[in-house]
Amino acid sequence: VDLTWPEYAARVADSCPVLLPIGALEQHGQHLPLDTDTMIAVRLAERVAGDLGGIVLPPLVYGARSLARSGGGDHFPGTVNLDGSTLIALVRDIVREQARHGVRTLIALLGHGENDPFVIEGAVLGQRDVAVADLRILVLGWWHVVKSEDLEDLFPDGFPGWDLEHAARVETSLMLALAPERVHCERMSAVDPVTPPPYSVLPTPQGTVPVQGSLADPRGANEEAGHALIALIRTRLVDAIRQALTDPGSEIVAST
Ligand code: ZN
Ligand code: MN
């Protein structure tokens, strides 16, 4: 958004991809800021845009409802949820507006897991609104391109698994690499283990989420792992995007 409108017009006329980071305002334990998901999405989008010659739009800084089993849930102060219909409408409008100005490649880079189905829905509806045959939209979460094996290599002491990765080792390591001054390492602690039910209860009952807010112990996060993850994610996202754009029938690298 440093661009002037003629600069934007020239870039778009030159088929430049446009990236939309979509984060959340959500509790991230005792040691990470509420805007963690947004910050990670923005910083990764800047790197990917650098590699692809793309433009990064201002992020969506609010996200879909935080769920107990993936984001700790919405009973923590500071977590601000969008209704799914709101997020769908925002994405739909942005798709339509970007397409109207000639954008033909739009990449929604997610920093918050719960955004995924609503962003896909908004993208599909926006695509339907504009009916431009060559408008291509990718919806990618950075975690989609990280495999369990990668994390076993990066965290030899063990990785508790994606189901518990909220404000835990991975997000904390990314933040230590991206913005160490915003991580309160001295506040990291073990979390009280809980076994959430494999279904959703609404409102979220107390006791199904660790009171600390992290879903697993963040200790073991480190800046070195964060830098390695950023390099890996950057390369994989760029590869996945290039592949999807040149060979739309092919599948993007899936997480396991
Ligand atoms: Zn997060
Ligand atoms: Mn989140």
Q: pLDDT tens digits, residue range 216-227? A: 999 999 999 999
**Helices marked H in 72-147:** 84-100, 116-130
Task: Record the tokens describing residue 40, joined without a space.
Answer: 């990670």
Catalytic residues: 26, 28, 37, 112, 114, 166, 171
Q: Which helix (H) or strand (E) holds 110?
A: strand 105-110
Which ligand approaches the C-alpha of residue 115 most closely?
2
Query: What is the 23 CA–ligand 1 centroid distance (Å)?
Result: 8
**What does the alpha-carbon distance between residue 30 and residue 188 come to, in Å, rounded to a whole number?**
7
Place of tokens 């829905």: 121
Query: What is the 63 CA–ligand 2 centroid distance (Å)?
Result: 8
Q: What is the pLDDT of residue 205?
A: 84
Percent of the chain with pLDDT over 90: 80
Task: Record the tokens describing residue 117, joined without a space.
Answer: 């189905």
C-beta neighbour count of 203 within 10 angstroms: 9
pLDDT at 158 exceeding the cut of 90:
no
Which ligand approaches the C-alpha of residue 79 most closely?
2
Task: Record the tokens describing residue 215, joined without a space.
Answer: 């879903």
Q: What is the pLDDT of residue 176?
A: 98
Which residue, among 234, 190, 182, 195, has the nearest Cα to 212 in the 3D structure?
A: 190
